[in-house]
Amino acid sequence: MKRIAVFASGGGTNLQALIDAVDKGEIKNGKIEIVFSNKADAFALERAKKQGIPSLYLNPKDFKDRQAYDKELADKMNSMKIDLVCLAGYMKILTGGFINNFNGKIMNIHPALLPAFGGEGMYGLHVHEAVLAHGDKITGCTVHFVDCGTDTGPVILQKKMDVGNAKTPEELQKKVLVYEHAAYKEAVELFCADKLVLEGNEVKVLK
Ligand code: GRF
């Protein structure tokens, strides 16, 4: 059984999708042990509490720098023997120290088909705004392992969808989230079933 931590800064619909997938047995070999946030008022923390999942908030102001913050976080994850960290709308850039400590064990979900519409500044509604401004007909989401770049880590899986008649970033975000929820639980279950093999920058998915 893999021990999962979910990091979230906002509403946490992806967190909820993972909670539901564990409950329904769609994620068979994993358990969410902790939900962490850098925001005291993140609704994701409420979701955790409602579900009886331990939660943790660390106030960035209590630490001298990002390194010290992430060191405390890494120590906590190590002490809990966490096997997988799922970033689900976690809006704080992780330091290299944290990432190297958990190489191949941190996943992120991005609301576009990377490498398109990724990188600095491409988060939240900005992504969907950019997709619409570019006139793309297809978009989707990407689950990837996290490396030290922004949205550059090895891709685990992607789901694509038609932009269709979505006219506003909000409309598009709502449509993409449905695909995100499906993609994230699938990727996490593959990890938990030991079906993901990371070879350099490529992720092999075992049958
Ligand atoms: C999602 O669009 C995710 O792809 C991005 O941040 C958003 C988080 O949404 N990384 P939620 O908090 O899971 O609802």
* Residues 82, 121 share a domain: no
Of 17, 121, 23, nearest to 129 (Cα)? 121
Please give the distance, rounded to the nearest whole angstrom, from the Cα atom of residue 38 to the centre of ligand 1.
15
- CATH no. for residue 204? 3.40.50.170
* Residues 11, 28 share a domain: yes
* Residues 54, 28 share a domain: yes
**Residue 11 in contact with ligand 1 by CB distance below 6 A:** yes
**Residue 89 in contact with ligand 1 by CB distance below 6 A:** yes
Active site residue 128: no
Please give the distance, rounded to the nearest whole angstrom, from the Cα atom of residue 14 to the centre of ligand 1.
6
Nearest CA to ligand 1 atom 2: 111
Q: Is residue 150 part of a domain?
A: no
Kindly provide the b/e burial profile for residues 144-168, where b requires at least 16 CB atoms within 10 angstroms of the residue's own CB. bbbbeebbebbbbbbbebebeebee
Two tokens, residue 84: 């997988």
Query: Domain span at residue 5?
Result: 1-102
Nearest CA to ligand 1 atom 8: 89
Say how far apart CA 78 and CA 76 lie, in whole Å: 5
Nearest CA to ligand 1 atom 9: 89
* Residues 47, 131 share a domain: no
With the most atoms of ligand 1 within 8 angstroms of its CB, the residue from 13, 46, 174, 180 to mutate is 180
Q: Is residue 53 part of a domain?
A: yes
**Residue 14 in contact with ligand 1 by CB distance below 6 A:** yes
Residues present in the chain in total: 207
Give burial (CB, 10 Å; 0-12/13-18/19+) of 80.
Answer: middle
Q: List per-residue pLDDT tens for the chain, 207 residues long.
A: 999 999 999 999 999 999 999 999 999 999 999 999 999 999 999 999 999 999 999 999 999 999 999 999 999 999 999 999 999 999 999 999 999 999 999 999 999 999 999 999 999 999 999 999 999 999 999 999 999 999 999 999 999 999 999 999 999 999 999 999 999 999 999 999 999 999 989 999 999
